[in-house]
Structure 1
Amino acid sequence: MADSKSVYVIDDDEIFHFIIRKLFLQCGKDPNNLQIISFYSAEDALEQLRRPGPLPALIIVDINMQPMNGWAFMKVFGELKHTLPQQIPVIMCSSSIDDKDIQQVNNTPELAAYITKPLDKKKLEIIEKYL
């Protein structure tokens, strides 16, 4: 299956992982061709990115997580991305509408997009553009 892709979803909320999987299925994404890999901590996702092996086609990360939040993840990812054999777009998906977070999104060139929760089919279309 050469055209199989994976998406890393980094969020400490189990319900969000369930919702994103369900939305991809409802939009006709074949689970054999698109694998959603869940990480409940940013540290675990970074550890996986450092390992040899296939990389994701896309990363979706939340802002508000503990102990490492989405901004701390983006800082480490920004340093790590230069060592990876391919570019990986990152979409931040959060319920935050805080002006400080929006300003930081605009000042973070590593972010391909910012999407607010809750997710719906329209917002999933934005995500699919990066796959």
Structure 2
Amino acid sequence: MLEQILCIDDDPITLMLCKKVIARSSFSNEIITAQNGEEALHYFNTLKYANTKSNIKPELIFLDLNMPIMGGWEFLDHFTSSAYSDFNKASVIVLSSTIDPDDLAKAKKYPIIIDFLSKPITQAMLEYLKKKIGLQ
């Protein structure tokens, strides 16, 4: 089981569904959510400057691509920079409704992205990911 994951999506229903499916599957102890890339970067900045004894940080990020304020690609450009090097051991799963081949090709340019899956998140998807990242 992962200690913490982060779901980034602008749709509150998608975030609620992610939390419910992940909680039921014993996939992660804690689920953090953000409604866009900027909010997610703010969360990481908070972790960076927090003087807490806890070293818990997201191990996996579910990322939507099309969001207002800051979309998934822009988030990835910031997150993979040296400014966030303390956190980029986290793997990213793009969870999107897009079927654009250009998005699939672009995702391959980011080594941090380990998969590109279609919404909505499902129990079967989490079982597949458990095997892929070695949780079983």
Match of 1:104 in 2: 106
TM-score by length of 2: 0.80
TM-score by length of 1: 0.83
Change (3 A) 1:98 1:50: same
Alignment counterpart, residue 17 of structure 2, candidates 11, 14, 19 = 19
Match of 1:46 in 2: 41
CA RMSD of aligned residues (A): 2.3
Deviation, 1:114, is 1.1
3-state SS, counterpart of residue 30 of structure 2 = strand
| Cα displacement string for residues 78-114 of structure 1 (whole angstroms, at most 9, x for unaligned residues) | 1047630671111111010011111111222221211
Change (3 A) 1:56 1:81: farther
Change (3 A) 1:85 1:10: closer
How do 1:1-131 and structure 2 match up within 5 A? 5-27=3-25, 29=26, 34-51=29-46, 52=48, 53=50, 54-80=56-82, 83-84=85-86, 87-128=89-130, 129-130=132-133
Aligned-pair identity in percent equals 29
After the TM superposition, which parts of structure 1 deviate over 6 Å for at least 4 consecutive aligned residues? none
Deviation, 1:25, is 2.9
Q: Which runs of 5+ in 2 are unaligned?
A: 51-55
The aligned length equals 126
- d(CA) in 1 for partners of 2:19 and 2:42? 23
Which amino acid counterpart does residue 21 of structure 1 have in structure 2? K
3-state SS, counterpart of residue 121 of structure 2 = coil
- d(CA) in 2 for partners of 1:64 and 1:109? 20
Deviation, 1:123, is 1.1
